[in-house]
Amino acid sequence: MVGYDIVLFFALAARDRVSADHSRKVANHLARLAETWGMREGRVSTFYKAGLLHDIGKIGISDRLLKSRERYTEADREEMKQHVHIGGILLKSLGFVEEIIMGALYHHERFDGDGYLYGLAGEEIPLVARMIAVVDAFEALTGYRPYRRPVEPGRALEIMAESRGQFDPAVFEVFRSMWETGSTRAGRLKADRRALYV
């Protein structure tokens, strides 16, 4: 039986393929980071799903914003911020586990407290969200966007390192070391090696 995670992923893909492709890449990076962190397979699988669904709230955002090729206005940014709230409500209503819900709700919080929507800081931010924040930013920089070219991975890590206060330093250093040493294992996500290429 197909789980809600896959159904929701394909719902997002039907709305916006770019967002779905981004979410799949975030999920893969997040699973590898969780493995490198030393998590057991069951929790790695949960983190994979959290990455896959971290932006699910975007299905509640207008096509005008989702498919825009222009940079957002301030009003557009405020509307887009609501995707974390929408995603949290949706995942909670469907009975997802706490870590997946928290990944959607809090992945745009910043370690220094200047993120959104809730202004959490430091370890007030759940670990899953602190990890998503790192891999989400990396994939956003290195991935395709209609309004700019991708950044090389090494340069992306430099940009992130210069963004003081945005990321949990410990999480960022593990991710950077993982990427630079090439220790990103393919993962042992037997249950999640399903076709997510749409």
Q: Where are the domains of the chain?
A: 4-192
* Terminal Cα distance for the chain, rounded: 19
Residue 31's pLDDT is what?
96
**Residues in the chain with pLDDT values less than 50:** 1-2, 184-198
Cα(7)–Cα(189) distance, integer angstroms: 18
Condensed to tens digits (0 to 9), the pLDDT of residues 36-94 reads 999 999 999 999 999 999 999 999 999 888 887 778 889 999 999 999 999 999 999 99
Residue 165's pLDDT is what?
92
Instruction: Count CA atoms within 13 Å of residue 113 on its CB side.
Output: 2
Residue 191's pLDDT is what?
36
Q: Are 138 and 166 in contact (CB under 8 A)?
A: no
4-192 adopts what CATH topology? Hypothetical protein af1432 (1.10.3210)
Number of other CB atoms surrounding residue 161 within 10 Å: 13
Residue 197's pLDDT is what?
33
CA torsion, points 45, 50, 51, 56, in degrees to nearest 10? 140
